[in-house]
Amino acid sequence: MPASKSVRLGRKRVLPSCPNPLFLQWLTELRDEAKEKNHKIHYTYQKAISSLNKYPLPLKNAKEAKILQNFGDGICKILDQKLQKYYRENGEGGGSSVGGYVNRSCDHLLSSGGDAPIHSLPRGPPSPRHHDARILPAPPPKQRKDGADHIKTMKKKKEYVPQRGSGGYAVLLALHRKSQVQDGNAFMFKMELQTAAQPFCDKSFSVPDPGSKYTAWSSVSTLIQKNLLLKTHSPARYSLTDEGLALAKRLAAAQEEEEDEEDNVVDLTVSDEDEGDVAAPAECLLPGHYEILLCVDVIETTGGSSGCKQALVAELQRNKVLFDVRKLNVGDFLWVAREKVPPPTGQRAVRKEFVLDFIVERKRMDDLCSSIVDGRFREQKFRLKRCGLSRVVYLVEEFRSSHLSLPEATLQQAVVNTQVVDGFFVKRVQDVRESAAYLTIMTRYLTELYQGCTGFVLR
């Protein structure tokens, strides 16, 4: 048998997954922030991250990254700004790598022997913690005017605080409330957490916004990355870290302060027995001193099928309905109790208005079809649920057309779901004239309902 060859044994050197960790971290943060705000630029950041992960060499600055795919002038400028800020805040020996780093386990990549040397970076002092520590290429220390060396002290990194109404904000508040009810480290499952967090969020946790595939739940990954949220077990359990709990407490306290300052709570059905107790801290409208006014969204009177919209206004005028055309942020029609104040001569009176607990969304079948196709249907229903008015009416005009892009059975099912699933009251009418008649009846009903009632705005 041939003599066996000697085998050289040794320990494998572990190579880093990415030689540019800070650039990777900053791009990931930019991507997550853009995703949370539903900005499409997060796709660009993701492509840049993929290109950076494939690049095997350390980068000294962002200008060198222009050779990579998806690194344009904009991204490079942002990374350079973050790099300069990093140097200003950390000074000499900041303890982490910048674009590239020197790694003790990869010294062979930086040696002068063999192949040509690769981007040799100046090395800082050796780390006492581990032979594989990453060393920051330190900038030269700044000099005082008197000639003495001066190194800036490290500043705190800007704390991540989710915006009010965002998915991250809502998840933190929901888990904070859970922790108040349950002693110890409270956790919630995904569906349970989404349901509990939805009231605190301006976006849906289950339905993406039009033109986007992301929901409010997408921000959970940012919370985990920022060490504010823990995801454990299978099925997944979500709980707050100590940092997350501290931040959630601050957010909850700030929300309570803001809610205490809000002064638009309306109650027009207070009983006679309660009037004495409520009148002291409240601003009120006495019986006979206010009128019920129908507010019509300006979109319902202009644009689109103007003939039908003018017919609606004409019918309301013919029925002698007291109404006002104005811009409504939610819904097409709602009612307010408006103070009766005769305007002084030559001046316009400023009247108090209290919004009543009724709101109407009007849909013709062709409009319903287009809103389902472009995603407005779900978004409008979500906003109606969040508007603060509990009695939502879906006024559906049975408009017949052979040019609808969806089958009539699909549209009818959508209307049924609006009543059964969403809990809205659905009123079906045949045309715009019947819509005006329904609004007339509702106005007269509300006028009679609140007749003799004292309206209060609690402060």
Q: Comparing 249 with 342, which gets the higher pLDDT?
A: 249
Q: What is the pLDDT of residues 345-401, one digit of tens each?
A: 555 557 788 899 999 999 988 888 888 888 888 888 999 998 889 899 999 998 766
pLDDT band at 96 (very low <50, low <70, confident <90, very high): very low
CATH of the domain at 244: 1.10.10.10
User: 420 in a domain, yes or no?
Assistant: yes
- For residue 71, give the CATH number of its domain: 1.10.150.110
The reply to whether 147 falls in a domain is no
3-class secondary-structure state, position 112: coil
Of 299-313, 424-438, 441-455, the range with the highest mean pLDDT is 424-438
C-beta separation of 38 from 168 below 8 A:
no
The predicted pLDDT at position 116 comes to: 36
The answer to whether residue 118 scores a pLDDT higher than 50 is no
Residue 39 has pLDDT above 80, yes or no: yes
Residue 243 belongs to a domain: yes
The tokens for 418 are 């609006």
pLDDT band at 442 (very low <50, low <70, confident <90, very high): very high
Confidence (pLDDT) at 171: 94
Give 184's pLDDT tier (boundaries 50, 70, 90).
low
Judge if 334 and 435 occupy the same domain: yes
Q: Catalytic: which of 315, 332, 361, 397?
A: 332
Task: Among 80-84, 167-171, 230-234, 274-278, name the one with the lowest average pLDDT.
Answer: 274-278
Mean pLDDT across 200-228: 86
For residue 152, tell me if it sits in a domain: no
Any idea what the CATH number is for the domain that residue 367 is in?
3.40.50.10130
- Please pick, among 36, 64, 297, 361, the residue that the annotation labels catalytic: 297
Q: Is the domain of 326 the same as that of 294?
A: yes
Look at residue 164 and tell me whether its pLDDT is greater than 90. Answer: no
Output the pLDDT for position 443. Answer: 93
Q: How high is the pLDDT of residue 183?
A: 56
Of 64, 300, 315, 361, the active-site residue reads 300
Whether residue 254 sits in one domain with residue 124: no
110 and 243: one domain? no
In a domain, 200, yes or no: yes
Q: Is residue 283 located within the same domain as residue 232?
A: no
Same domain, 312 and 408: yes
- H/E/C letters for each residue in the chain? CCCCCCCCCCCCCCCCCCCCHHHHHHHHHHHHHHHHCCCCHHHHHHHHHHHHHHCCCCCCCHHHHHHCCCCCHHHHHHHHHHHHHHHHHHCCCCCCCCCCCEEHHHHHHHCCCCCCCCCCCCCCCCCCCCCCCEECCCCCCEECCCCCEECCCCCCCCCCCCCCCCHHHHHHHHHHHHHHHCCCCCEEEHHHHHHHHHHHCCCCCCCCCCCCCCCHHHHHHHHHHCCCEEEECCCCEEEECHHHHHHHHHHHHHHHHHHHHCCCEEECCCCHHHHHHHHCCEEEECCCCEEEEEEEEHHHCCCCCHHHHHHHHHHHHHCCCCEEEECCCCCCEEEEEEECCCCCCCCCCCCCEEEEEEEEEEEEHHHHHHHHHHCHHHHHHHHHHHCCCCEEEEEEECCCCCCCCCCHHHHHHHHHHHHHCCCCEEEEECCHHHHHHHHHHHHHHHHHHCCCCCEEEEC
| Of the residues 232, 260, 288, the one at which a domain ends | 260
pLDDT of the residue at 145: 47
Query: What proportion of the chain, given as a percentage, has pLDDT over 90?
Result: 22
| Average pLDDT score, the chain | 75
**Closest among 12, 15, 27 to 57, alpha carbons compared:** 15
| The one-letter amino acid at 291 | E
285 band by pLDDT with thresholds 50, 70 and 90: confident
Q: What is the average per-residue pLDDT within 171-182?
A: 85
Which of residues 89, 124, 140 is at a domain's end? 140
Number of folded domains that form the chain:
3
| 198 and 316 fall within a common domain | no
Same domain, 98 and 221: no
% residues pLDDT > 70 (the chain):
69
For 399-412, how does the pLDDT look when each residue is reduced to its tens digit (9 = 90+)? Answer: 766 677 788 888 88
| pLDDT (mean) for 264-278 | 46
Residue 6 lies in a domain: no
Residues 276 and 363 in one domain: yes
For residue range 3-27, list pLDDT tens digits in order.
544 555 555 444 456 788 888 889 9
- Check whether residue 297 and residue 434 sit in a common domain: yes
Q: Which domain holds residue 48?
A: 21-140
Q: What is the pLDDT of residue 309?
A: 65
pLDDT of 38 reads: 83
- Over residues 299-322, the mean pLDDT reads 77
Cα distance between residue 218 and residue 35, in whole Å? 8
Lowest mean per-residue pLDDT among 202-206, 228-232, 347-351: 347-351
What mean pLDDT comes out for the span 89-104? 49
Residue 266 lies in a domain: no
Asked about 257 being catalytic, the answer comes back as: no
Residue 183 and residue 76 in one domain: no
Which one of 206, 235, 260 terminates a domain?
260
Q: Three-class SS of residue 359? A: strand
State whether 279 and 374 are in the same domain.
yes
- Is 332 annotated in the active site? yes
Whether 197 is covered by a domain: the verdict is yes
